[in-house]
Amino acid sequence: MALRCPQCGLKYDVMKLEEDGKLNCRCGFKLDLSLIESADDFLRYCEGTEELEKAMEIQRDAQRICQMILDEVHQAVDIEIAKEKLKEKVKKFFPDKMETYRMIYESRFKRLWNQFRSQE
């Protein structure tokens, strides 16, 4: 998988990232995977159309799960099944980004659950 510098568009192989997840681009931009905090941040680093489409599909599925949490019609078991399916999709599409998935999406699901469904 390749990462694209959001400043100049130059592509880098993820294997070239140092152990700390950082790489200095030739344009001067510092690629730092630890700074990816949102889905939009992640999309900026996606390389090509196919990769971007996969990331957007994940984002749509995550948004649907958020809506399920907010909509009290959906049972907890259905939400958990949807979350597990999304997790498997992320593993399939971006196996090296599971920690990013946990930081962005799982924390969002947990926050929404605690805010709107904590009595269940």
The number of beta carbons lying within 10 Å of the beta carbon of residue 59 is 16
pLDDT digits (tens, 9 = 90+) for 57-103: 999 999 999 999 999 899 999 999 999 999 999 999 989 888 889 98
**pLDDT computed for residue 96 by the predictor:** 86
Q: How far is C-alpha 118 from the chain's CA centre?
A: 24
pLDDT of 22-62, one tens digit each?
Answer: 778 888 887 776 666 666 666 666 656 677 788 889 999 99
Q: Where are the alpha helices (DSSP H) in 1-120?
A: 39-45, 49-70, 76-93, 98-101, 107-116
Sequence letter at residue 7:
Q
| The total number of residues written for the chain in this structure | 120
Q: Structural domain boundaries of the chain?
A: 1-35, 37-120
Is the pTM above the cut of 0.85? no
Rg of the chain in Å (alpha carbons): 16
Residue 46: per-residue pLDDT: 61
